[in-house]
Structure 1
Amino acid sequence: MKLVFFRGKVPNFGDELNLTVWPALLPKGFLDDDESELFVGIGSIIGDHLPAKARKFVMGSGYAGYMGLPDVHDGTWDIRFVRGPNTAKTLKIDPKLSICDSAILLREMDLPAPDESVGVAFMPHYESLERGDWASACRQAGITLIDATAPVDKILSQIRGARLLITEAMHGAIVADALRTPWIGAKPIYGGHHRKWLDWASALDLDVRLHPLKPTSMLEAYIGKTGRGGALGKVGRLNASALGILPNRILTSIAAGHLAAMSRLEPQLSRDSAITSVTERAREAVDTFVRSRQAAI
């Protein structure tokens, strides 16, 4: 059974968590390279891009509309649980299969020690790191930048040690909430990333508050205004040109001030009882699946 998850040009924390969580929780040798059976793990990985004939086992994944909607009733899907009620409704499956994003299972693991030097941190979406200048914005705001493309253990240590996490990356919020680090949600500049936040939060009966960010570049401003997230041609070239230096510096300075102001907002955490309940349900779903596979051998 092969583990499948999204992997782009650069590593992304939420997706790379698969390589931390599943080897720790599943029996040794449970996962292999057999593509006739797929273990569909953490992330918005449910879609019609997965091989039609492969048997697909879903463990806390979500549907966010990035890919086409699959027919999960065609006999090749075995859904043990999904990220949230919006995914369950969209797929037309039993609402009881809506438990939570399986990154919550970090609560069941031994984790890196907290980095006590972090203080207040900001975690941009990994795409924003390329499109803007959040490193400069964080320096100006006196806030620690958490790089979503950094090694998973480093990020986990930073989130555990943070006094407060402001995050545009959804898995920044998911992990902070799971590990009980107070967090403030930043509305992703690219609008295509919004709905999955509500899917996850609804599973925890959490009224998530997403606060708007200010762009740090002309490119980010354009994406925020138009909703475009693909090839950005002339706008991208202008953003990277000498003509873009001054306006980008001004935008970065404005964004830094806004980020500092966001750090004074009231943070969020789901209820302790809710996080405990969904963790237990997710772990039981995984353990039941493992037992069923072992019994079939």
Structure 2
Amino acid sequence: MKLVFFRGKVPNFGDELNLHVWPELLPSGFLDEDESELFVGIGSIIGNHLDPQARKFVMGSGYAGYMGLPDVHDGTWDVQFVRGPRTAEKIGVSPDLSICDSAVLLRAMELPAPAENVGVAFMPHYESLERGMWAEACRLAGITLIDATEPVEKVLAQLQGAKLLITEAMHGAIVADALRTPWIGAKPIYSGHHMKWLDWSGALDIDLRMHDLRPSSVLEFYIATTGRGGGKGRAGRLNESPLARIPNWILTHSAARHLQKMAKLEPQMSSDAKIAEVTERAEAAVDRFVRSRVSVS
């Protein structure tokens, strides 16, 4: 059974969690390279891009519309649980299968020690690190930048050590919430990433409050204004040209001041009772699945 998850040009914390969580929680040898069976893991990975002939086992994944909607009732899908109620409704499975994003299982694992001197931190979406000027904005704001492309162990230590997390990256909020670090949701500058936040927060009964970010570059301003992603076109070339130097300086300083204001907002977190409940349910679902596979083999 092969683990499948999204891998782009650069590592992304939310997706790379798959290589941190599943090898530790599943029995040795449970995962292999047999593509006739797919273990569909953490992330917005449910879609019609997966091999239609393979048997697909969904373990806390989500549907975000990045890929086409699959028919999970065609006999090749086995949905153990999904990220949230919006995924359950969209793919047409029982609301009872809406437990939580399976990154919550970090609560059942031994984690690296909290990093020191993190204070207030900001975690941009990994795409924003390339499109924006967030390292400079955080420096100006006196806020720690958490880079979603850094190794998982480093990011986990920073999230545990943070006094407060402002996050555009959804898995920043998911993991902060699981580890009981207060967080403030920043509405992704690219609007295509919005729906999945509501999916996850719905599973935890969080009355989600998302706050606007100020773009930190010309390219981000273009994306926020047009709703288009990417950065290889005219806007991307302009962002890197000498003509953008002054606009980028203005936007970066504006973004820094806005981060400082966001740090004074009231943070969010699910209740202790709810996070404990979904963790227990997710652990039970994984345990049932493992036992069913062991008995079959």
TM tier relative to shorter chain? over 0.9
Task: Give the equivalent residue in structure 2 for 1:153.
Answer: 153
**Matched AA of 1:141:** A
**Matched AA of 1:108:** A
Looking at structure 2, the residues matched to 81 and 122 of structure 1 have their Cα atoms a distance apart, in angstroms, of 30
Q: Once the 2 structures are TM-superposed, how far is the Cα of residue 111 of structure 1 from its aligned partner?
A: 0.2
Instruction: In structure 1, list runs of 5 or more residues that go unmatched.
Output: none
2:43–2:61 CA contact under 8 A, matched in 1: yes
TM-score, normalised relative to structure 1:
0.99
Looking at structure 1, the residues matched to 45 and 230 of structure 2 have their Cα atoms a distance apart, in angstroms, of 19
What does the per-residue CA deviation read over 1:118-153, in whole Å, with 9 as the maximum and x for residues that have no partner?
Answer: 000000000000001000000000000000000000
Instruction: In structure 2, list runs of 5 or more residues that go unmatched.
Output: none
What does the per-residue CA deviation read over 1:214-245, in whole Å, with 9 as the maximum and x for residues that have no partner?
Answer: 00011000100111013541111111000001
Instruction: Give yes or no for the alignment of 1:96 onto 2:71.
Output: no
Looking at structure 2, the residues matched to 248 and 123 of structure 1 have their Cα atoms a distance apart, in angstroms, of 20
Task: Give the equivalent residue in structure 2 for 1:29.
Answer: 29
Q: How does 1:99-248 map to 2 (within 5 A)?
A: 99-230=99-230, 232-248=232-248
**Matched AA of 1:79:** V
What does the per-residue CA deviation read over 1:167-188, in whole Å, with 9 as the maximum and x for residues that have no partner?
Answer: 0000000000000000000000
Looking at structure 2, the residues matched to 231 and 119 of structure 1 have their Cα atoms a distance apart, in angstroms, of 32
Looking at structure 2, the residues matched to 30 and 268 of structure 1 have their Cα atoms a distance apart, in angstroms, of 37
2:201–2:208 CA contact under 8 A, matched in 1: yes
Task: Give the equivalent residue in structure 2 for 1:55.
Answer: 55
Looking at structure 2, the residues matched to 72 and 231 of structure 1 have their Cα atoms a distance apart, in angstroms, of 34
- Structure 1 residues 53-62 or 221-230, which shifts more? 221-230
Q: Once the 2 structures are TM-superposed, how far is the Cα of residue 116 of structure 1 from its aligned partner?
A: 1.9
**Matched AA of 1:65:** G
Task: Give the equivalent residue in structure 1 for 2:16.
Answer: 16
Runs of 4+ in 1 over 3 A off after TM superposition: none
Q: Once the 2 structures are TM-superposed, how far is the Cα of residue 41 of structure 1 from its aligned partner?
A: 0.3
Tell me the SS of whatever aligns to 1:17.
Answer: helix
Tell me the SS of whatever aligns to 1:111.
Answer: coil
Question: What is the count of residue pairs matched by the alignment?
Answer: 297
**Matched AA of 2:294:** Q
Tell me the SS of whatever aligns to 2:27.
Answer: coil
**Matched AA of 1:228:** R
Looking at structure 2, the residues matched to 113 and 237 of structure 1 have their Cα atoms a distance apart, in angstroms, of 41
Looking at structure 2, the residues matched to 206 and 50 of structure 1 have their Cα atoms a distance apart, in angstroms, of 31
Task: Give the equivalent residue in structure 2 for 1:85.
Answer: 85
Looking at structure 2, the residues matched to 232 and 217 of structure 1 have their Cα atoms a distance apart, in angstroms, of 15
2:219–2:231 CA contact under 8 A, matched in 1: no
Task: Give the equivalent residue in structure 2 for 1:69.
Answer: 69
Q: Once the 2 structures are TM-superposed, how far is the Cα of residue 14 of structure 1 from its aligned partner?
A: 0.2
**Matched AA of 2:70:** P
Identity of aligned residues (%): 74
Q: Once the 2 structures are TM-superposed, how far is the Cα of residue 87 of structure 1 from its aligned partner?
A: 0.2
Tell me the SS of whatever aligns to 1:46.
Answer: coil
Tell me the SS of whatever aligns to 2:107.
Answer: helix
Looking at structure 2, the residues matched to 167 and 231 of structure 1 have their Cα atoms a distance apart, in angstroms, of 22
Task: Give the equivalent residue in structure 1 for 2:278.
Answer: 278
Q: Once the 2 structures are TM-superposed, how far is the Cα of residue 117 of structure 1 from its aligned partner?
A: 1.2
Looking at structure 2, the residues matched to 173 and 26 of structure 1 have their Cα atoms a distance apart, in angstroms, of 25
Looking at structure 1, the residues matched to 72 and 103 of structure 2 have their Cα atoms a distance apart, in angstroms, of 22
Q: Once the 2 structures are TM-superposed, how far is the Cα of residue 271 of structure 1 from its aligned partner?
A: 0.4
CA RMSD of aligned residues (A): 0.6
**Matched AA of 1:59:** M
Tell me the SS of whatever aligns to 1:38.
Answer: strand
**Matched AA of 1:198:** L
